[in-house]
Amino acid sequence: MTLETILSSLYRKLNYASTPSSDTTVRLTAFLNEMHRRTLGLPGMEYLRQSQITFASVASTPQYSLPPDVARIIAIRDATNDLTLKGGSWLWYTGHEPDPTATTGTPSVWVPVGRVAVAAQPADASKLYVDSTSTSDKGTCYVEGVRTGGYPFSTAVTINGTTAVQIGSWTDILAVNKFFLSDAAVGTVTLHEDADGGTELARIPIGQTSARYLRIALWPTPSSAITYTLDYLRQVTDMDAPTDEPLIPADFHWVIEAGAKMLEYEKTDDRRYPAAREEYQKGIRDLKWFVTQQASDSGTVSAPSQLGAWYPAGS
């Protein structure tokens, strides 16, 4: 079911017109998105958000920004060297390695640095530009950061569709701390360094107003390019377009519909609220069973050796 079909079902069950007021549509859409997030955030629902991508390290580069879709890292695997990197804390990293560039080699540890507004900072004191892949993007773009000398700046510019617009008139921007929009992006909105089409620093996806990147460090600092496999939990984004679908299995789309109905009854102080709550809670129990019973962990499988090709698996 899509957002459009779930909303249509809600309208019928709540005795609203097939095309209700815009206020009703906005409210019920918000309720559906709230229940979608709450459902997927419950313990045991991680399976529904699991995904996988690859990314490559760069020689002598210690830190990397992962795509905005990455909410939490499950594992980082190096198939080339048969390694699963261990997670380390930021305190361990800064205390163990005051100068990350001083130690290079094959990384064995990944460290969470934090959430950042841009995938990369300017390489030097630069001009910045913003543009979109859609001519319909005409909203306001807000940027905050630091200029040469440590001077903070904050500015707003009007996006001009696919035509690049300079961020202020500065030529000495060193860092960007915030990058967001007044309205949801129609196309992909991109922040560039130096010129139209210059080095990309960040991008805001269609339907979003900002992008946040999970930044990590690899230790020791890579001495060469290695392609890693990243297992992660996806960030749950709002359903905005009529054709958007929930991340939960199609047979259980009714669960978030029941949750939205429950919230509507709670708002209107409707006496049917307890029955709607019970319907939602039963749906959650059934969904948890469905998710957790899809694989059996009976028996054990020996893990491959991480000691090298001369040692047998599991040694």
pLDDT, tens digit, 9 for 90 and up, residues 20-58: 999 999 999 999 999 999 999 999 899 899 999 999 999
**Tell me, what's the pLDDT at 295?**
61
Q: Give the separation between CA 303 and CA 181, rounded to whole angstroms.
A: 47
> What pLDDT is recorded for position 311?
63
More confident residue, 117 or 303: 117
pLDDT score for 267: 95
In the prediction, which pLDDT does 96 show? 86
Task: Please tell me the distance from the alpha carbon of residue 107 to that of residue 86, in angstroms, as a whole number.
Answer: 10
Between CA 245 and CA 240 the distance in angstroms is 10
Residues 87-98 have a mean pLDDT of 92
With a threshold of 0.75, does the pTM exceed it?
yes
Separation between Cα atoms, residue 18 and residue 43, nearest integer Å: 36
Percent of the chain's residues with pLDDT above 70:
93
Query: Per DSSP, which regions of the chain are E strands?
Result: 50-56, 63-65, 70-78, 83-84, 86-87, 104-105, 109-116, 128-132, 140-147, 151-158, 165-166, 173-181, 189-193, 199-204, 213-219, 221-222, 227-234
> Which pLDDT does position 305 carry in this prediction?
64
Mean pLDDT, the chain, rounded, equals 92
Beta bridge pairs of residue 125: none
pLDDT-derived band at 241, boundaries 50, 70, 90:
confident
Round to whole Å and give the CA distance between 220 and 311: 24
pLDDT at 298: 56
Residue 165 is predicted with a pLDDT of 95
* H or E segment to which residue 139 belongs: none
**pLDDT at 197 (0 to 100):** 75
Query: What confidence category does residue 207 fall into, taking pLDDT thresholds of 50, 70 and 90?
Result: confident
pLDDT tens-digit readout, 166-206: 999 999 999 999 999 999 999 999 999 987 678 999 999 88
Phi, psi of 148 (to 5 degrees): -50, 135
**101 pLDDT above the threshold of 90:** no
